Structure 1
Amino acid sequence: MKQNYNKHIKLLCATCGSGDFFEKNEKTDVITCKKCNRVYHGGYDELVELNQKNINSEVESMKQEVKKDIIKDLNSMFKKTGFKLK
């Protein structure tokens, strides 16, 4: 079975769609998109909330990948023991 299902989901600015130009104020946790200057007063949590659709999509994709791998591994294990699968 595949051992590593780690995924990194890039959070994108809700205004300009960029994911490469965020700056976090360490004192206030406010995040600013340096491309369009949108300020996320809720910090990381606000960015996650606004990217929830993309996050959910990646989770669903991961579920399908894990399911496919489990089925493949189970089929392989049964074949090795002599069971015939249909």
Structure 2
Amino acid sequence: MKAKVTSYTTNKRIAMMMEHLSPGKGGRHRQTNSYGKSPNLKLSPREVLAKEIQDVRSIYLRQGLYNKDIRYSLQTLIRMNKLQWKDIFDKENIKS
């Protein structure tokens, strides 16, 4: 997000904890589409957040683990990002 948002600092980032076995392989974090890849700077932060949420949701669905608690956690993650970065995630302020 640093490349898109000049006021972004890593101490204000919001993250979600996912299983990530170490050392070794496996874990849900490694299954995400963005794991180990550079960010797509053509997308707005809002678009990236939406894609990441959908990706995580699909991982839990595929594993038969998606439930109301996971759904609530993903909704909370979205709300927290919108609160922390009010102008960035407004539909009206999308900047690609």
TM-score normalised by length of structure 1: 0.31
Normalising by structure 2, report the TM-score: 0.28
**Larger strand percent:** 1
Which fold has the larger relative contact order, with Cα–Cα distance below 8 Å and residues 6 or more apart in sequence?
2
